[in-house]
Amino acid sequence: MSEFITINDVGPRDGLQNQSHILTVEQRLQLIAALVAAGIPAIEVGSFVSPKAVPAMAGTDSVFSRLLGSSVVDDSLEKASGRQIEKRLSALVANRKGYELAKATGLRVVNLPIAASNSMNEANIRKTNAQAMVLSLELISAGCSDDVDTVPYIATAWHCPFEGLIDETVVIDMAEQFLSAGASRVVIADTIGAANPAEVSSLFKKLTTEFGDKALGAHFHDTRGFGIANAYAAVETGIRYFDGSIAGLGGCPFAPGATGNVATEDLAVLFSSMGFTTGIDMNQLCVAAELAIELTQTNAGGSSLPWLKRQLDKSFL
């Protein structure tokens, strides 16, 4: 059997929070159900942050209570991933209060955003680097006690919209601290889609050499059209865990210049084409992408979507 690459769909969180059209809880559940039906093994369902700052994520507690009450997804996600559903659905939390709210829903994976630069931390979570580091380490420690997986996201890991190029050693040092403290995985994020594949290759070579590929993940945006090239560069260094966003929905409301995340369908097509297993049903993935476009009323969609649509009536992959 060929090697497995995990795609974590962050569309229901990173995607939806950046759309002008705000979805209802029912619509969010509909989108998540479509992703589950497509066999996506990991999904970032929402965030526990201030609804004033991110209105699209209000009601994430209701989304989780419905999901973990299993009325929406039954056990297909569990079957697809071979792991408990609580371990495959995640939420982003930005502080202790968010962490507690998330934990109370019964979910068991939280993502912790922290930028590699001061300016971005201040813009994104209103903290200095040092304060953000203390908070992240505190939440990682809490996660260890509570049997909650914690996944720090090192945002703007290559380029900061305010400070420019980030020194690789800053990211490597942060990753080291997180993993030593007990983080399940560290995701390296090109939040504004500014890294080129040579830069991606360089940093991930150093990180995988230091920490092994199992401890790492990659998160790319398509701002300059480099998303798939960056994913390829990361795969070549051994990375096997990638964030994508269905239909390429996404961006970052607090990072100037950030546009859509790399599309889950583009990642799935790339990895399948390269002979990896993703567990994803391409026909159902296409259905999910079209639903995402319909619900958000955007013209989004990965570069491969027109091709995928033409395959809908064929048997392929």
Task: Pick the binder of a copy of itself from 249, 263, 282, 293 (CB under 8 A).
Answer: 263
Q: How far is CA 119 from the centre of its chain?
A: 22
Site string for a copy of itself, 209-248 (x = CB under 8 A): -------------xxxxxxxx-xxx---------------
**Structure tokens belonging to residue 127:** 């903290």
Shortest spacing between CB 52 and a copy of itself, in angstroms: 27
Site string for a copy of itself, 272-311 (x = CB under 8 A): -xx---------------------------xxx-xx--x-
Task: Pick the binder of a copy of itself from 10, 186, 269, 282 (CB under 8 A).
Answer: 269
Contact 176, 272 (CB under 8 A): no
What is the SS3 string spanning 239-257? CCEEEEEHHHCCCCCCCCC
Decide whether 66 or 309 has the Cβ nearer to a copy of itself.
Answer: 309
- Count the Cβ atoms, other than its own, within 10 Å of residue 248: 29
Measured between alpha carbons, how far is residue 252 from residues 17, 76, 286 in Å? 8, 31, 24
Query: Is residue 270 a contact residue for a copy of itself (CB under 8 A)?
Result: yes
Query: Is residue 135 a contact residue for a copy of itself (CB under 8 A)?
Result: no
Catalytic residue among 144, 160, 252, 286: 252
Choose among 300, 287, 307: nearest CA to 248: 300
Contact 90, 59 (CB under 8 A): no
Query: Is residue 252 a contact residue for a copy of itself (CB under 8 A)?
Result: no
Query: Is residue 104 a contact residue for a copy of itself (CB under 8 A)?
Result: no
- Which 168-197 positions form the footprint of a copy of itself (CB under 8 A)? 193, 196-197
Q: Distance between CA atoms of 313 and 32, rounded to whole angstroms? A: 24
Q: What phi and psi, each to the nearest 5 degrees, are found at residue 280?
A: -95, 135
Task: Pick the binder of a copy of itself from 198, 210, 214, 294 (CB under 8 A).
Answer: 198
Task: Label residues 98-120 b or e (16+ Cβ within 10 Å = b).
Answer: bbebbbebebbbbbbbbbbbbeb
Count of residues of this chain found to bind a copy of itself when the rule CB under 8 A is applied? 29
Binding span for a copy of itself by CB under 8 A among 55-63, 148-156, 171-179, 269-277: 269-277
252 is catalytic: yes
Which residue ranges make up the site for a copy of itself (CB under 8 A)?
Answer: 193, 196-198, 222-229, 231-233, 257, 259, 263, 266, 269-270, 273-274, 302-304, 306-307, 310
Residues with catalytic function: 252
